[in-house]
Amino acid sequence: MGLTPMMQQYLEIKESCKDCILFFRLGDFYEMFFEDAEKVSKELELVLTGKDCGLENRAPMCGIPYHAANSYISRLVNKGYKIAICEQLEDASASKGIVKRGIIKVVTPGTYTDSSFLEDNKNNYIMSLYVDSNKNLVALSFADISTGEFSCTDTQYDLSIILDEISKYNPKEILIQDNLDDKICEQIKERFNVSFTRLPDQMFTTDAEETLVSQFSNFDKGEYTDTLIKACNGLLSYVIDTQKIPLPHINEMEYYNIVDYLTIDSNSRRNLELTESLREKSKKGSLLWVMDKTNTAMGGRQLRKWIEQPLIDKKAIQKRLNSVEELLNNISAHEDLKDALKEIYDIERLVGKISSKSVNAKELISLKNSIEKIPAVKNILSSFKSNLLNNMYSNLDELKDIYEILDEAILDNPSISVKEGNLIKEGYNKEIDELKTAKAHGKEWIASLESNEKDVTGIKSLKVGYNKVFGYYIEVTKTNLNLIPEGRYIRKQTLANAERFITPELKEMEDKILGAEEKLVNLEYEIFIQVREKIEAQVDRMQVTAKIIAELDCLSSLSTIALENNYIKPEITNSEELFIEEGRHPVVEKMIPSGNFVANDTHINTSNEQLLLITGPNMAGKSTFMRQVALIVLMAQIGSFVPAKKAVIAVCDKIFTRIGASDDLAAGKSTFMVEMWEVSNILKNATNKSLILLDEVGRGTSTYDGLSIAWSVIEYISGNSKLKCKTLFATHYHELTKLEGILEGVKNYSVSVKEIGSDIVFLRKIVRGGADQSYGIEVAKLAGLPEEVINRAKHILERIEKENGSDINIEDISNLREVAVDKVESNEKENSTEVVVEESIKESAINTSVKSSNVSKNTLEVDVSMQMNFADIEKQNLVKEIASIDVLNMTPMDGFNKLYDIIKKAKSL
Ligand code: ADP
Ligand code: MG
């Protein structure tokens, strides 16, 4: 027994794409065989069947209908698989023997372009990484095939820089050299959910320069390093290899220098929740969530890039700020602008589709409708004077010629399929019009035939109909058959209670109509392709327009948030001072009831106020304050107004944060190791223009170790002239407050707390001076720890404080236990939490309209809601979790697991 010819063909093709799942087209299905079938049937929960393949055992097989393939492909790609699409390359009926088949496209996570499954506001990047270990250089290049963006950079080899760049772009797939050190991949994999594709070295090196010259209109030979050229070539070759068609929209290579942008290392990006929240990994709760008020998909993607890449050039920042201000001062023009932007579709991705020849007529109409709005945009821009808006005005190509082509050629409401006719407008092509007339004339003739035959035969119920098998026919019911004159009709088909007939004239007209129809469909398709090609030739112009619209939309968004959230224009300087008056955390202020956020001032520089040491109990607001400072700086450097009353921002070169890394536990590292790794990275890379946030450094180890490390880190930063940078240091080690006065530039601050009886209320106000107490036990009480435990802790604490550093006598403390339990009962009445809460509710009810800066009364109101006990928070989290379940995108198995998970959580509450 041998393999069937078809199976031989299958295996030959499969041999050429071993790392892919092969979608093998058989009639109306894509079939998968062998391991592919087993894998896919599991992943997508498809039925696994078998097919005779000529061998003893049937080949495992599963299949999907071709018209539903897109959603299956998207699910597989999301899981990191690559799919090779193999089509029949000739008409099955025309071929002798086995139909010719071949791979027409390979879909991979990084080259996926189906816009119905891609997120509008997010690019889908593929990246290549090329390391030249002899020269100690590394080059990175990134592309989004759906939009045509292609950018690249190179630098001295440094893993942390590679990680930072990856975190900026979040690529779905990374191309690497075959022989690249596994360790690098592991490090990347540990942090990012990305698939790797190893390419043979020649994919990077062969004809590198020639490939780039022929693809990019702006590629200058001799201007780039060899390493960079190889990285770009690898990426481009892979893209061409998988798409298998030319991609004219990838026509510009954008080189950028990493140091031209604010450096934010990958941990800080996560910690500061720039584009997604730490816990839920959702846009909600991130800076992007607050800042994104864009009206176009292009603008949404661009804004994300702006947030990922804040500027460091004072002039460039000021230009953006001035334009935001101008929009803000012209509210009505800005409203008109927003209205126009809302009507503009994703020109970038439409252009990508035109380039890859997958665009349909409906999408060309979307393009036309978008272009239609551009003159209005240009008109609004004409009244603006700020540099950026004015340049946009000058450079905005209204694409009138493209509009005209589309308007003349394509029907306003064309078919989705380009192979069913109904695409081209009357008057665009003479032959099409003639065919349409012929078709219409034929139909009229047939319509008149019906009334004619009714008259002749006297049969009122006679009708003319059409079906695909028999074409046009005359139908007469059985009861009327006797009325038909002898020999008038030819019998064609018998139904239960009617007969169908034809006449030679009817068949002749039918041939004419059907002939015209077929010709029409073909000709309309042909003309459609011509129109598409005409437009394709203008791809670069449309891209320039799209880019301007995207950036304009970003400026508009910045202006919108400034207005809505009451932001102010920061003053940007190249000095050493950072001064923020009544600053707010842009995200937290939106997450809590409006007006409840307590604003705080910040004054920090590189000399006498260089390191702010912030103490205060847990939950007081230390971390929030520190992040707020970093986010305000970051927003300012994006060119955005900021949440403050006044802000003077010295441009920073880098922002570093070391903030609780609980989520790194999942990556298998001990928190303390991660903490120290991050701190050492900061100490090595910060400069005196950087901003550093250190939150509870040393917490991950024993008290004395931690304290000593924190202490020496502070000494190192403030004593090192190269490093002497603006630093915010939050700590619960009160001992460190002694450093003020000893180390130059160290200043103590604390978050104020009000004691009410034995309870505390957080005032959220940052004040000068160290905190005198840690209030750990009070916080524990707020968290709902049993009264007995709380009281016991108090007694232990009292005792330890009495011993004051001398050796603690554990036995003594143990003996105190009984006394403590006794005391609980007598204390219970006096120390009731409820009393305090009730009081503060009363107080806040009287003061409903207190301003946010009015601390004393207003915060009491905040705190009632804020200080709910932890079980309530857990319950709320569970509700949130349930609300966020996306059932439609889950497999039944995932759904079941989730349900199980939720029930478990609910039971534990
Ligand atoms: P810490 O770091 O001191 O433990 P956090 O900064 O995590 O405290 O703050 C705890 C909570 O207090 C935050 O989740 C936030 O809801 C609230 N909070 C913090 N700062 C403020 C503020 N300035 N105004 C209002 N609420 C605040
Ligand atoms: Mg904290």
Q: Tell me which of 588, 612, 856, 858 to substitute to probe ligand 1's pocket, judged by most ligand atoms within 8 Å of the beta carbon.
A: 588
pLDDT band for position 892 (50/70/90)?
A: confident
Assigned token pair, 423:
């695409």
Q: Whose CA is nearest to atom 20 of ligand 1?
A: 621
- Output the pLDDT for position 788: 81
Instruction: Calculate mean pLDDT across residues 275-302.
Output: 94
Residue 373 has pLDDT above 90, yes or no: yes
pLDDT tens profile 500-545 = 999 998 898 888 888 888 999 999 999 999 999 999 999 999 999 9
Strands (E), 719-859: 726-730, 746-756, 759-768
Confidence band (pLDDT; 50, 70, 90) for 55? confident
Q: Cβ distance 568 to 645 under 8 Å?
A: yes
Ligand 1 pocket, 597 CB below 6 A? yes
Band of the pLDDT at 866, cuts 50, 70, 90? Answer: very low
Least distant ligand from the CA of 614: 1
Atom of ligand 1 nearest to the CA of 599: 23
- According to DSSP, residue 424 is labeled B
CB 743 within 8 A of CB 635: no
The one-character DSSP state at 495 is: -
Q: Is 587 in the pocket of ligand 1 (CB under 6 A)?
A: no
Among 291-295, 384-388, 516-520, 834-838, name the one with the lowest average pLDDT: 834-838
The string of pLDDT tens digits covering residues 168-193 is 999 999 999 999 988 899 989 988 88
Asked whether 860 lines ligand 1 (CB < 6 A), one says no
- pLDDT for the residue numbered 558: 98
Q: DSSP letter string over 309-332? A: S-B--HHHHHHHHHHHHHHHH-HH
Nearest to 59 by CA among 26, 87, 103, 95: 26
pTM of the model: 0.82
pLDDT at 864: 39
pLDDT surpassing 70 at residue 817: no
- Which residues are within 8 A (CB) of 723 and not within 5 positions of it... i.e. 6 or more apart? 683, 686, 687, 688, 716, 717
**How confident is residue 829, by pLDDT bands cut at 50, 70 and 90?**
very low
C-beta 775 within 6 A of ligand 1: no
Local confidence band at 872 (pLDDT 50, 70, 90 cut-offs): low
Per-residue CA distances from 725 to 208, 265, 310, 652, 675 (Å): 43, 16, 19, 10, 20
Q: Could you tell me which of 776, 754, 631 has the C-alpha nearest to residue 693?
A: 631
Between the CA of 604 and the centroid of ligand 2 the distance, in Å, is: 20
Q: Tell me the average pLDDT across 249-272.
A: 93
* Between residues 549 and 880, the one the model is more confident about: 549
Per-residue pLDDT tens digits for 192-215: 889 999 999 999 999 999 999 999
Torsion sign across C-alpha atoms 773, 774, 779, 785: negative
pLDDT at position 526 is: 95
pLDDT digits (tens, 9 = 90+) for 332-341: 999 999 999 9
Nearest Cα neighbor of 162 from 130, 135, 119 is 130
User: Which residue's CA lies nearest to atom 17 of ligand 1?
Assistant: 621
Ligand 1 neighbourhood includes 598 CB (under 6 angstroms) = yes
Q: Average pLDDT of 283-293? A: 96
Rounded to an integer, the average pLDDT of 462-472 is 87
Flag whether pLDDT at 724 surpasses 90.
no
Residues, the chain, total? 909
Q: Is 619 in the pocket of ligand 1 (CB under 6 A)?
A: yes
pLDDT of residue 812: 53
Asked if 285 and 591 touch (Cβ cutoff 8 Å), the reply is yes
Please answer whether residues 161 and 140 qualify as being in contact, where contact means their C-beta atoms are separated by less than 8 angstroms.
no
Give the count of alpha carbons within 13 A of 96, CB side only: 0
Question: Where residue 904 falls among pLDDT bands split at 50, 70, 90?
Answer: confident
pLDDT at 498 over 70: yes
From the CA of 657, the nearest ligand is 2
What average pLDDT does range 288-308 have in this prediction?
97
22-35 pLDDT, tens digit per residue, is 999 998 999 999 99
The arithmetic mean of pLDDT across residues 216-222, rounded, is: 90
Confidence tier at 855 by pLDDT (50, 70, 90): very low
